[in-house]
Amino acid sequence: MSDAALWSALADPHRRAIVALLLERPRPVGEIAEACGLSQPSTSKHLKVLREAGLVRVRQDAQRRVHALDPAPIAALDAWLEPYRRLWNRSLDALGRRLDETSDAPRHPPPPKD
Amino acid sequence: MSDAALWSALADPHRRAIVALLLERPRPVGEIAEACGLSQPSTSKHLKVLREAGLVRVRQDAQRRVHALDPAPIAALDAWLEPYRRLWNRSLDALGRRLDETSDAPRHPPPPKD
DNA sequence: CGGGCATATAACTGTCGAGGCATATTCGCT
DNA sequence: AGCGAATATGCCTCGACAGTTATATGCCCG
């Protein structure tokens, strides 16, 4: 069910921007705020959401609160995506087969259809 | 841009449920509504959102409107995920290295995960 | 061509979340 | 202790969105 938190956290474009920023390196709140053109309180709130979704972790450094990405939820997203990726591959496959049929290129063995 | 539409479409749990349903097979609106326990108008609206996000395509069959998944946006999500997946692998890597260091087990070379 | 089915759309309402401002909290420093 | 910097929190407002009811549209068939 923290699935829901994850999705709604990433639903916001500002939050995705923050996540992208943190991909480069961990950053304190102020830096994030400035980089995203957000006010400090707003940034703090977004970070709270990200924290509660498990996407972000905090390390306290004096008055600074340095936020860093936590890779785990990304894996959860990846897992969610899995079955759909299968669909995607299947459709690529079909496209490839169709191309093969209309060309005289060497054909690879038909993959076992499940 | 349409990235935003994709995320906000998938932000809704009912919509994710619909998408999951359509993964099994294409379905007409009524069937989706019943399966998700949603009213017909609500279902129609959700499907409209999914359509506008490009996640779903319609085929008209008499009065039925059969909705099916479009794999393309899934690929977009996958692409978005890419850089984060790298982070994830890196952290797995680090974990592995740490385990290697504290054990006397033979160390294996980092597996080229693609 | 009228009736009934499947679906879309309109109008309205309640809820939720984002942003802004002011203020509280926490920590380091002198 | 007192001050200033960095961040969190409370309160408020506003707009976006989901759900409902009622109605419109398109399509097949008799």
Is the C-beta atom of A42 closer than 7 angstroms to strand C? yes
Q: Which of A10, A83, A91 has its CB closest to that of B7?
A: A10
**Identity (one letter) of the amino acid at B68?**
A
Surface-to-core class of residue B66, CB atoms within 10 Å of its CB (0-12 exposed, 13-18 middle, 19+ buried): middle
Q: How many Cα atoms within 13 Å fall on the side-chain side of residue A30?
A: 3
Residues of chain B in contact with residue A87, where contact means CB-CB under 8 angstroms, are: 23, 69, 71, 74
* Higher per-residue pLDDT: B1 or B41: B41
pLDDT band at residue B36, thresholds of 50, 70 and 90? very high
What is residue B30's predicted lDDT score, i.e. its pLDDT? 98
For residue B7 the two structure tokens come to 């995320």
Distance (Å, rounded) from C-alpha B84 to C-alpha A3?
17
What is residue A103's predicted lDDT score, i.e. its pLDDT? 58
pLDDT band at residue A95, thresholds of 50, 70 and 90? confident
* B23/A7 Cβ within 8 A: no
What is residue A105's predicted lDDT score, i.e. its pLDDT? 47
pLDDT(B104) > 60: no
pLDDT(B44) > 70: yes
pLDDT(B26) > 90: yes
Q: Which of B23, B71, B81 has its CB closest to that of A91?
A: B71
Distance (Å, rounded) from C-alpha B109 to C-alpha B72?
35
Measure the N-to-C terminal CA separation of chain B; round to a whole number of Å.
Answer: 28
pLDDT band at residue A98, thresholds of 50, 70 and 90? confident
Q: How many Cα atoms within 13 Å fall on the side-chain side of residue A45?
A: 7
* Higher per-residue pLDDT: A51 or A108: A51
For residue B92 the two structure tokens come to 């797995």
Q: Going along chain A, which residue ranges are E strands?
A: 27-28, 56-61, 64-69
Q: Are B83 and B34 in contact (CB under 8 A)?
A: no
pLDDT digits (tens, 9 = 90+) for A43-93: 999 999 999 999 999 999 999 999 999 999 999 999 999 999 998 887 777
Q: How far is A16 from chain B (nearest CA, A)?
A: 10
The spacing between the Cα labelled CA in A32 and the C1' in D7, in angstroms, equals: 12
Alpha helix (H) ranges present in B2-112?
A: 2-11, 13-24, 29-36, 40-52, 72-102
Looking at every residue in chain A, the average pLDDT score rounds to: 88
What is residue B114's predicted lDDT score, i.e. its pLDDT? 46
How many Cβ pairs within 8 Å bridge chains A and B?
Answer: 58
Q: Which of B11, B69, B84 has its CB closest to that of A23?
A: B84
pLDDT band at residue B87, thresholds of 50, 70 and 90? confident
Other C-beta atoms within 10 Å of B50: how many?
Answer: 25
What is residue A101's predicted lDDT score, i.e. its pLDDT? 65
